Structures are given as C-alpha cells and as structure tokens.
Amino acid sequence: MSLKIGDNAPNFQVETTEGKIDFHEWLGDSWGILYSHPNDYTPVCTTELGRTAQLKPEFDKRNTKVLAVSIDTLAEHQGWIKDINETQNTTVNFPIIADPERVVAKLYDMIHENADANATVRSVFFIGPDKKIKASLTYPASTGRNFAEILRVIDSLQLTAKHSVATPADWVQGQDVVISPSIKDEDIPAKFPKGHKVIKPYLRTTPQPE
C-alpha cells in the first residue's frame, strides 16, 4: 500500500556508503529527504547524485538530511561514486543505501511494476522531524528531478509548519504568502504585523513572515 501525506515514515536499518544506520535515529531532529534511483551506473542518476552533493550547503542550511537508495550493492555504489565525483566535479557527501533485497524499495512502494518490475521509479519523500511524510514526488526513470523544486518544497513545508500560511503557485523564498482561511480577519494584524492585502474574502496575502 502506498504511503500518503501524514503517514508515519517507516523505519529501517540498512547498510549505506557511510556505514550502517537506523533511519529514524539517523534523522534525529532534522528534516529528511529519502529518494530512490533506478540503478547504479545510469546517466540521469549520476547527474542527480552529483547535484545533491553540490547542494549540500543548501540542505544543511535547511536542517535537512538527504539519503539516497538504489537496489544495487554497496560495492557497486562505491565504484559508482568514483564516477559521480569525476563526471560531476563534486564529492558525494551523503549516504546511499544498498538495497539489493528491495527492503526499502518495498517499504516505500518505490517499484511500480507497470513501469519496471525490477528497478525503482524516481521517488522523493519529504519527512518531518516528527517522522511523518510531509510530501512526495514521483517521476519516471526517464525524467531527472528538478532540485530547485525540491528545495522550494522544503522551504514551503518548513514555513507553513511554523506559520498559519500557505504558499501560492510558483512561490519561492521571500515572496508573499497566502493567509490560512482559518485565521479570522480581525486576528490578522496581530498575527501578521507586516500587513496584508485582501484580494477576495477567501484570498488574503501577506509578506513572508520570516
């Protein structure tokens, strides 16, 4: 059964390129991204893992740990990392799970048989410090992920978890946000001292709270 937003993120103990980890213990109080790769030594995955390594300062700034999973072995991962570092001009600086028995892939429903019965699709799970699924994205193996969008989703999740707001279409860090419908008009000035605009009674915006 597929995982839904609000579900508990299943825990697991696995071998990774940075040693054995217990997923929940490894996450600690951080946000987390768990994302899958169809196979080692594949071109799109090579660019994605390289991009993840390059963006580590951005993930760190957001208190977010990234954990990749592929259904290949630890030895294959170690060889592939050398290629990633060479071709993407970076150094892989986050763990990659060795999942040859498909334990994590099955826990997180990452194998979609109608697409490929043997390899994982490009799943992305955003996990909060409370170990619950906050969002997910799924791409076919042929489509590389947009990491600007992944960072944007993290920014939105963290902002909306702290304030009574939502982020509108195409929002990026620093832009105006939408005030939650649950907030009464008379309570807006105290909650949002930067001011607000009423476009429609149900559509009220305010500068980003932080």
Catalytic site residues?
A: 45
Residues in the chain: 210
Give the number of other CB atoms < 10 A from CB of residue 199: 9
Give the tokens for residue 29. 């109080």
**Amino acid identity, position 49:** L
**Amino acid identity, position 208:** Q
The residues, any chain, with a CB within 8 Å of residue 114's CB and separated by 6 or more, are none
Q: CA 131, 119, 136, 146 torsion: positive or negative? A: positive
CB-based contact 4:133 (threshold 8 Å) = yes
Give the tokens for residue 37. 């790769």
What are the backbone angles phi and psi of residue 197, rounded to the nearest 5°?
A: -130, 135
CB-based contact 106:49 (threshold 8 Å) = no
Q: 15-47 burial string, b = 16+ CB within 10 Å, else e?
A: bbbeeebebbebbeeebbbbbbbbbbebebbbe
